[in-house]
Structure 1
Amino acid sequence: MNISDLIKLQKEFFIKGDTLEYSFRLKNLVSLRNEILKREKDIEEALYKDLRKSSFESYMTEIGLVLEEINYHIKNLKKWMKKKKVRTSISQFPARSYIYHEPLGICLIMAPWNYPINLVFMPLIGAISGGNTAVIKPSAYAPNCSNIVREIIESIFCKEYVAVIEGGRKENEKLLEEKFDFIFFTGSISVGKLVMEKASKNLTPIILELGGKSPTIIEKTADLKLAAKRIAFGKILNAGQTCVAPDYVLIDKSICQLFTKYYVEYIKEFFENDDYKNFPKIINKKHFNRIIKLIDSEKVVFGGEYSEENLIIYPTIIHENDFNSRIMNEEIFGPILPIIEYEDIEECIEYINSKPRPLALYLFTNSSEIEEKIIKRCSYGGGCINDTLVHITNNKMGFGGIGESGIGQYHGEKSFEAFTHPKAIMKKFNWLDLPMRYHPYNEKKSKLVRFFIK
């Protein structure tokens, strides 16, 4: 079946109205959860084949987060679907006002390769909760995960409701030529711009979850040892192939040497017993070669080694002193950590604000004054104080970028809101009809209008 025919089928299915019912949405959320649990080992195997992810990392960053999100939606969906009453102004008495969240319709979900399970199913959960149909396009760079996603979807959903289109650039282009009611895209900034351009032709609403260079600031009051441990965790998770990974470190000059020492100690502690057995690989040769070219051997203070045969780049620290270097002007998306010293926190603020707004920012400090200053004066999607990455695991907060790092938010209730339209309804009662709004207008009516509307 070609893509146009599939979308036509989904539109016909959506118009029937089955997806509007709470029972329908709940049943399909439960089916998705049960199938993921049933295929957990198959998912882990696919993640290992595509990215060399360990069973532990696969569950922690992909399967577990998806299950947690589904359970959160199952628990809260009925509440989210209820009409939300709002106050009505006295000028419209007698009336009631409420907001009804209606489905957007036929949704396109385009997922990337770096978290090929998480970033397919997390938005799909919102699409199902919101009462939509969905066409899913997994990344061709993670073929084993793409295949398992297709198998899971086809085993529980009819294609008129949720369908998977596999393939590469050709399929992406065909999908973007079609008219959807909503597009949810996760990926690079360059492709995000293309998606936005294509969507604009049909005035299709979009959410873009992109990336960029997420900074980490280490201020002199920080718990340095713990900072090193948590930054190392955030940088090497998925071999650095994480859109919210700490991209580079800005550190107070007085503590730079000690931080480097602690960071190296933790990398050795993490891997000395298994010789990087549980360390993921870079997704393909193209990305491997791109990252290798970012390593300036003269600036390497730890690491710098790699295995071309296995597509593994080992954790590396670079002491950088040039803000104009290539590594400081390109999203790394790998386990290389550039460290730049500063003398005054204002230097960090000035530098960060001179660049496109990042998806995340991490600040390590025990100073509430510094914390408030960075939060107020630096613009970014979201982040952590004294940790990395973990803000995205709280489904009671939205996740998303700002500016070049993205448009819109999802996770938890924000996912339900992302895939629905808040339709505003005012219900007027017939037992009283105030005459002041009707012609003919006169001075008395003018005074009444001014009394009620101000």
Structure 2
Amino acid sequence: MQLTYTNTAEYSQIIDDLRKSFTNNLTKSLSYRKRQLRQLYKLLEENEDEICDALYKDLRRPKTETMIGEISWCKKESLDAIENLDGWSKPEYVKVGIAHALNGCHIRREPAGTVLIIGAWNYPVLLLLAPFIGAISAGCTVILKPSEVPDNTSATLTKLISKYLDQNAYRVVNGGSEETMELLQFRFDHIFYTGSGRVGKIIMTEAAKHLTPVTLELGGKSPAIIAKDADIPIVARRLIWGKTFNCGQTCVAPDYIICERSVQEALIKEFPRVIKEFLGENPQKSKDYSRIINQKQFDRLNNMLKKTSGKIIYGGITDRDELYISPTIVSDVTEDDELMQHEIFGPIFPIMVVNDLEEALEFVRSRDIPLAIYPFSRSDKTIQHVLDNTRSGATVINDCLMQASVMTLPFGGQGHSGMGSYRGKRSYDVFTHERSVMNTPYFFEKFIGFRYPPYTQRNDKIANWLFFSRWKGRSLFRGVLGAVIVLFLAYYSHKSEKLVGYVRNYFS
């Protein structure tokens, strides 16, 4: 299916139409949001084969990986949002001091407005639809901008979204970098972007012109830190799976290994066995091994391999016509090696040798904060030491990648690896404004006279006690009763210091 770019001259009208729909409260009711979420679930359920086929054309990705890594997650997110939306959107009444016991202070959760979601090419379904689910749940109107790189998948999603979801609230626009820059000239109420740090900086710069808040889901070099006491056969299986899933084109893939020399030697012996177990003697013939997305990315990875000063101890086989790069292990890589300068985003696995764990942690701390850290050790003390002495978006102990499958864990980075997080309720929160609401009834006027000029010493004492009392409201009845008593005393009985003192002690 051919991907057709949206005419940039249409952008203004599309955005105006979505803003009008939002202003007219089209997406406000929970029943409408749930209906659209059910439609999105239906889209995924009824078109599994077509979506998987499109992803196979773009990435040669096996259906199992697409189901595990994209479709199933989005279906689960949709059902979770439908089931929990009533609870997520309920007003939250907050604890208050005695001075505000009758004010009905609460947080009202409202949609952010008209938002822009820019997807990524490596997981073009998940990384577009997962935040989209949050935006639908929150009640926003949405412009979706899929990546133009996986053109078959983006064309398929464009067709299906226009068929299954309300076009008055949700629109898909397509284009390359120039069209995206044109789109960013318009004001949105939130921008959600998944992709590289380089483009993330551009997104943030353009958003700043309109003071638009952004969520950036980026990447980085996520290290696997292997301690001496790690179970090497298990470590090898889990790391090779994480590195070859989607041909290493995963933002949370383990990027490099850092360990002592004895561990490197053990891994070098184990890795080839595991690769053969998973993908056979010739991974190029395996139906379970994806391909690099395009020639641009292939050339980037191939150049890395050509420039490395490390030892290629397994793999290193490339085929540009087929966009094939074999699972490749490179040992004895130094910190200034080409493979250690940028996120690899491919099936190349460098190993960097250090003298001990402390040197490994010092190296990790000296780099940008990674999206994930993967420590492997049998010792709880060692794991705790890694956690206490590093920073990362997430940490997965003795495994990799699987943090992304847990909806109740925030998914996001820090610094160069991202800004903000999402998944599950957090996806709803991203596109929701927490509006503070405080209600002061008219009958309160007699009781709040102490706050008005002319100011007196008596009024100062009353105000100081009411606003800075340690009482936090142990029950609704106690709160209402206490507020009534104290305000009555404040208004009528300011001379009765004994009685005021008793009430003060009772509610402190």
- Residue 66 in structure 1 maps to residue 74 in structure 2: yes
Q: Quick one: distance in 2 between partners of 1:425 and 1:394?
A: 33
Describe how 1:294-305 pairs up with structure 2 within 5 A: 294-295=304-305, 296=308, 299-305=311-317
Q: Quick one: distance in 2 between partners of 1:430 and 1:375?
A: 54
Aligned to 2:303: 293
- Residue 129 in structure 1 maps to residue 131 in structure 2: no
Deviation at 1:92, TM superposition (A): 2.1
Q: Quick one: distance in 2 between partners of 1:253 and 1:86?
A: 55
Matched residue type, 1:290: R
Question: Runs (4+) of structure 1 moved beyond 6 Å?
Answer: none
Query: What CA deviation, in whole Å up to 9, does each residue of 1:374-408 have, x standing for no partner?
Result: 21221111120010010111001110110011111
After superposition, the CA RMSD in angstroms is 1.4
Unaligned runs of 5+ in 2: 1-8, 469-508
Q: Quick one: distance in 2 between partners of 1:196 and 1:231?
A: 33
Deviation at 1:298, TM superposition (A): 5.6
SS for the counterpart of 1:141 is: coil
CA contact (8 A) 1:136 1:162 kept: yes
Q: Quick one: distance in 2 between partners of 1:35 and 1:160?
A: 18
- Residue 329 in structure 1 maps to residue 365 in structure 2: no
Give the one of 167, 170, 183 matched to 2:178.
Answer: 170
- Residue 368 in structure 1 maps to residue 368 in structure 2: no
Q: Quick one: distance in 2 between partners of 1:250 and 1:427?
A: 57
Aligned to 2:191: 183
Q: Quick one: distance in 1 between partners of 2:193 and 2:333?
A: 35
Aligned to 2:154: 146
CA contact (8 A) 1:36 1:152 kept: no
SS for the counterpart of 1:136 is: strand
SS for the counterpart of 2:321 is: coil
Describe how 1:224-263 pairs up with structure 2 within 5 A: 224-263=232-271
Q: Quick one: distance in 2 between partners of 1:71 and 1:400?
A: 22
Q: Quick one: distance in 1 between partners of 2:419 and 2:83?
A: 27
SS for the counterpart of 1:217 is: strand
SS for the counterpart of 2:413 is: coil
SS for the counterpart of 2:351 is: strand
Deviation at 1:445, TM superposition (A): 2.0
Q: Quick one: distance in 2 between partners of 1:223 and 1:325?
A: 28
Deviation at 1:340, TM superposition (A): 1.1
Q: Quick one: distance in 2 between partners of 1:345 and 1:180?
A: 46
Aligned to 1:407: 419
Deviation at 1:305, TM superposition (A): 0.7
Structure index of larger Rg: 2
The farther-off stretch of 190-199 and 164-173 is 164-173
Query: What CA deviation, in whole Å up to 9, does each residue of 1:6-53 have, x standing for no partner?
Result: 000000111111211010000000011011111110000000000111
Aligned to 1:351: 363
Query: What CA deviation, in whole Å up to 9, does each residue of 1:400-445 have, x standing for no partner?
Result: 1100111111100000000101111122344443333221212122
Aligned to 1:277: 287
- Residue 438 in structure 1 maps to residue 446 in structure 2: no
The farther-off stretch of 365-374 and 169-178 is 365-374
CA contact (8 A) 1:383 1:389 kept: no
Deviation at 1:297, TM superposition (A): 7.3
Give the one of 298, 319, 332 matched to 1:307.
Answer: 319
Q: Quick one: distance in 2 between partners of 1:445 and 1:222?
A: 68
Identity %: 37
Query: What CA deviation, in whole Å up to 9, does each residue of 1:151-193 have, x standing for no partner?
Result: 1111022332111111211210111111111100001100000
Aligned to 1:392: 404
CA contact (8 A) 2:309 2:337 kept: no
CA contact (8 A) 1:126 1:416 kept: yes
Deviation at 1:228, TM superposition (A): 1.0
- Residue 98 in structure 1 maps to residue 99 in structure 2: no
CA contact (8 A) 2:310 2:332 kept: no
Q: Quick one: distance in 1 between partners of 2:260 and 2:125?
A: 38
Aligned to 1:447: 461
Deviation at 1:89, TM superposition (A): 1.7
SS for the counterpart of 2:104 is: strand
SS for the counterpart of 1:116 is: coil
Deviation at 1:100, TM superposition (A): 1.2
Q: Quick one: distance in 1 between partners of 2:287 and 2:318?
A: 14
Matched residue type, 1:139: S
SS for the counterpart of 2:435 is: strand
Matched residue type, 2:347: P
Q: Quick one: distance in 2 between partners of 1:430 and 1:344?
A: 69
Deviation at 1:223, TM superposition (A): 1.8
Deviation at 1:373, TM superposition (A): 1.8
Aligned to 1:209: 217
Matched residue type, 2:134: G
Length-normalised TM-score, structure 2: 0.87
Q: Quick one: distance in 2 between partners of 1:365 and 1:91?
A: 54
Figure out how many residues of one structure are paired with residues of the other and give that number. 454
Give the one of 23, 29, 37 matched to 2:45.
Answer: 37
Query: What CA deviation, in whole Å up to 9, does each residue of 1:236-283 have, x standing for no partner?
Result: 111010011100001133322112222221111001177322211101
Q: Quick one: distance in 2 between partners of 1:365 and 1:311?
A: 36
SS for the counterpart of 2:437 is: strand
CA contact (8 A) 1:381 1:401 kept: yes
Aligned to 1:222: 230
Q: Quick one: distance in 2 between partners of 1:25 and 1:233?
A: 37
Matched residue type, 1:449: A
SS for the counterpart of 1:96 is: coil
- Residue 195 in structure 1 maps to residue 195 in structure 2: no
Matched residue type, 1:99: I
Matched residue type, 2:457: E
Length-normalised TM-score, structure 1: 0.97
Q: Quick one: distance in 2 between partners of 1:449 and 1:334?
A: 64
Deviation at 1:70, TM superposition (A): 0.8
Aligned to 2:492: none
Unaligned runs of 5+ in 1: none
CA contact (8 A) 2:368 2:415 kept: yes
Aligned to 2:328: 316
